[in-house]
Structure 1
Amino acid sequence: MSSHPSHPSSIKNIRLCQSCELPVEIQAIKRGHSAYCPRCNTQLYRSESYSISGNLAIAVTGLLLFFPSLYFDFISIRLVGVMIPGTLVDGVTALYNEGFPGLAFLTFYCAMITPFVMCSAIVIVHLSLRYRWYHPLRYALNILGPMRHWVMLDVFLVSIAVSCFKLQDYSDIYIGNALYSLILLQVLSVMLLSRISIRRYWEEWQIEHDLNLKIKDVHCRNCHLSQPESSRCLRCHHALYHRKPFSVQKTWALVIAACVAIIPANLIPISILLTNGQRLEDTIFSGVASLINSEMYGIAVIIFVASIVVPVAKVIGLIYLLLIIQFKKVNNHRFDMMIYRAIKWIGKWSMLDLFVISIMLTLVDRGQILNFTPGFGAVAFGIVVILTMLAAESIDPRLLWDSQPKSKQPSLKKES
């Protein structure tokens, strides 16, 4: 992949990088390899080594697995001689009945709605390409882009393991059939996320070469078409902009709100356990400490990293990026891009504690010797998770490159 020549906007085989807006010349690459931006190392395109129809087969299989994963028990416990099955619907219902509808929706959305919508959108896209339906294709692809960061089946599976370790001293644990469905659904979700290319689907609809675009001044972040300056994309009709409107202001607002919410999230009890007549209120810190006292060091480390380190690191990282953007102090551009990508990747793992709460609430039945209920700290923690993930989505990485002098361009480079 080579960097741009003297006047790149007038050359036909030029594409703008979606992360730093560098014009790069499109080159042929080997099958199964990818082309990366020589400046920010963002993947620009790849030479697909698989059939696009394979995505449809995976999506349909995922939809078939959705209902058994949702309604069958993924784990059961024997508590005081009583078998208590746990399903995902039971956990959501229990949260709602306990007066936490927001947490119930967030749990259900991240664990099951997102994979279901992702698989459904793939099916709609393939039907739209088959029958040339433009609007269903456009709406389905608009959903697929941002939806991928909210698919958290992997986090949910880890939370099941954490819950089992927490319950092993109180009850006998049995694996349910739905757990196998959830694991298989997670494997299929990973395959879909690695295979889905929004650009490729739009190329199936209308090939970029057929548009005969000789000037490319702006890049559409929706369908990834580089094109002449305009208010709307020629292919997907999405709004065009060189930078996200009010990106810095929106991100600051979300980060400040997250900083406010993170205080009660760590000070107010996130869970309440009633056992043998004792009421044990746990904050995130005290929960980690109790796991250490119980010699569950591995689980303690997982909870500590997911519930304390990750949210704080996300907030600090976002503040750092906002400050260097506002004061134009970007020095190591690639390092700052690594921070941006890390913030987007680690965001979903903060949901681990909330998933554990929903599972514990499902399995620890009311009226038994052992009783469990969420604390209001869980609400504040859920707000922190949502705000930091939205903040990571709202920041525009192209702002990191505005401070780089125009003459300071990368040399010729090829990536695969």
Structure 2
Amino acid sequence: MCSQLIDGNNEPTESASHIRLCHGCELPINLILLERGKSAYCPRCGTHLYRGGSPSLSGNLALAIACLLLYFPSHFFPFISIRLFGVMIPATLPSGIYTLFDEGFIFLSLLIFFCSSIAPFLLCVSVVTAHIGLKSKQFKVLKYSLYTIRHFKTWVMIDVFLVSIAISCFKLQDHSDIYLGTGLYGFIMLQCMTLLLVTRVGIHSYWEKYKPERDYHFKKRELHCLHCHLSQPYSDVCARCKKPIFRRKPYSIKTTWAYIVAASIAIFPANLIPISILITNGRRIEDTIFSGVASLVKSGMWGIALIIFVASIAVPVIKILGLSYLLISIQLKRNLLRRQRMVIYFIIKWIGRWSMMDLFVICIMMAVIDRGQILDFSPGFGAVAFGFVVLLTMFATESLDPRLIWDEGSMKSETDRREEISNG
């Protein structure tokens, strides 16, 4: 591991300015200098702590500007076109979103629009404004830009959209000829730039550039701010970013349970009610998620069927069961297999976004197949329920505080801590 532990009594072996609390388990870590290309991970929970070398913030800015330049050609040029009844029908992302909205599926259209367009755009704009705030020493501009980056990185799903385009092409090949458009190459280039940006950009490096952690001379470091990653003594407000700071996320367990219960209810109509309706030659074909997978298997598309099954059926169930297991273990104060539970948490956090694939496929199909009674495609109300499942499970993952996994049963409540602070 590229990090060093301090002693077991939480007393630093060096100056307290070299100590940072892990944001995954709050283990005090003695910081060391790493070479560029190497990363430090918490030896207890495996959380990524920081990268070695001096990060090039100008590289982040260059990537963000490149993404913004690619944003418009990728969105407004056709990414695929089909020849249907002798007519070329182009498909753009906005046309699919607008068709969904026009058909009355407002929630689905807004969810798809946010994940495929708004979140990537705001992420890139926030990187630019963060540089402006950093150079001009505008604290509020920097603060809100970094806040946006932290919360929107999870919702950038251009890679999921690209896979959805490939799946849509396999589904459409039985009905028409398919032609790749200029927008597809724009999306591929945009995904490459976005992937580099998401893996490079870290809010901690911006806050360190604004005011390094070594400038804060604290005798103790007992709290870790999740917004700017400053480890500090107990307080109501973070000393660096001025955001409210808590020992643990308030009401984390109750909020996560509420999202899980809601998602568990929504998952039944999502799987039992048709998710898509295809009318071809006067014949109406209604498909649930499972029947759609079965039809792909019958057509010999085993690979596509497996991808849809994993993303749309297995992943939501795994997230619900996995989060329930973590919550139950936390509430029962289980001390065994904590590292394994952190691995489960990391997996759940990574796989959740891929459930959006089926909804992206529906959006693409709506963009190219809407031709009346001869050939027509529309989403079923099962798609709406599935959208709620995706949204609720992602909210549940974000609301769970993984540090609770490492808490001992005797840990004082947040209220007790604040009373101690107020009493001096």
Matching residue within 273, 276, 290 for 2:281: 276
How many residue pairs get aligned? The number is 406
> What one-letter code is carried by the residue in structure 2 that aligns with 1:106?
L
Deviations 1:104-160 (A, max 9, x none): 010111011111011000000011111111101100100111211110000000000
**Structure 2 unmatched runs, 5+:** 412-424
Measured on the aligned residues, the alpha-carbon RMSD in Å equals 1.4
Partner of 2:239: 234
Please give the TM-score of this superposition, normalised by the length of structure 2. 0.93
Matches within 5 A, 1:310-389: 310-367=315-372, 369-389=374-394
Partner of 1:287: 292
Alignment partners' CA distance in 2, 1:100 and 1:297: 30
Contact 2:288 2:382 in 1 (8 A): yes
Matching residue within 53, 59, 79 for 1:54: 59
Partner of 2:31: 26
Alignment partners' CA distance in 2, 1:192 and 1:361: 30
Contact 2:237 2:243 in 1 (8 A): yes
Query: Which has the larger displacement, 294-303 or 251-260?
Result: 294-303
Alignment partners' CA distance in 2, 1:131 and 1:113: 26
Structure with bigger RCO (C-alpha 8 Å, 6+ apart): 1
Give structure 1 regions of 4+ aligned residues with deviation exceeding 4 angstroms: none
> What one-letter code is carried by the residue in structure 1 that aligns with 2:131?
H
Partner of 1:413: none
User: Tell me, what secondary structure is at the counterpart of 2:50?
Assistant: strand
Contact 1:8 1:14 in 2 (8 A): no
Correspondence 1:214 to 2:219: yes
Cα deviation for residue 204 of structure 1 reads 0.8
Alignment partners' CA distance in 2, 1:156 and 1:53: 28
**Structure 1 unmatched runs, 5+:** 407-416
> What one-letter code is carried by the residue in structure 1 that aligns with 2:290?
F
Matching residue within 288, 301, 304 for 1:296: 301
Q: Percent identity over the alignment? A: 56
Matching residue within 167, 175, 184 for 1:179: 184
> What one-letter code is carried by the residue in structure 2 that aligns with 1:302?
I
Change in 2 beyond 3 A, CA 1:48/1:116: farther
Cα deviation for residue 35 of structure 1 reads 1.4
Alignment partners' CA distance in 1, 2:375 and 2:357: 22
Cα deviation for residue 312 of structure 1 reads 0.6
Deviations 1:333-387 (A, max 9, x none): 1110000000000000000000000000110132262110000000000000000
Partner of 2:398: 393
Partner of 2:269: 264
Query: Which has the larger displacement, 1-10 or 389-398?
Result: 1-10
Partner of 1:3: 5
Cα deviation for residue 32 of structure 1 reads 2.0
Alignment partners' CA distance in 2, 1:11 and 1:111: 43
> What one-letter code is carried by the residue in structure 1 that aligns with 2:187?
L
> What one-letter code is carried by the residue in structure 2 that aligns with 1:200?
S
Alignment partners' CA distance in 2, 1:261 and 1:13: 47
Deviations 1:258-297 (A, max 9, x none): 0000000000000000011110000000000111111111
> What one-letter code is carried by the residue in structure 2 that aligns with 1:277?
G
Correspondence 1:167 to 2:172: yes
